[in-house]
Structure 1
């Protein structure tokens, strides 16, 4: 299962506090089958895996959950306020 760093859980919780219609982030496979997208979400879709960690929720669609099963999601906010995410291999 995808693991989340403290940075990511803090980002998701802050987004949910600041924008009430966002309760989570959703990671989904793009139509090309090769890329992933991350977007704000207010609910899980039918085939989503729900990851809850330290008060943060991430929804991951079926195909993406397979690919991400041994990964860790990290993130940060740059000086301009842009959120950036990175994937790494779980130890």
Structure 2
């Protein structure tokens, strides 16, 4: 199962607190089967896997859940306020 770093949980919690119609992030596999999209979401889509960790909620579509099963999601905010994500291998 995808693991979240403390950085990501704080980013997602802050986003959900600042934008009332957002309860978490949704990660979905793109049609090419290689890329992922990340977008704010108010709820899980049908068949999504829901990950709740440290007060943050992430929704994963089925293909993304398989791709990310052994990964760790990290993130940060740059000087302009843009959120950036990175994936790593779980230890």
Matched, 1:42 2:62: no
Stretches of structure 2 lacking an aligned partner (at least 5 in a row) = none
Q: 2:80 aligns to what?
A: 80
Q: 1:26 aligns to what?
A: 26
Over the residues paired in the alignment, what is the CA RMSD in angstroms? 0.5
Paired residue total: 91
Aligned-residue offset at 1:46: 1.0
| Runs of at least 4 residues off by over 6 Å | none
Aligned-residue offset at 1:33: 1.7
TM-score, with length taken from structure 2: 0.98
Stretches of structure 1 lacking an aligned partner (at least 5 in a row) = none
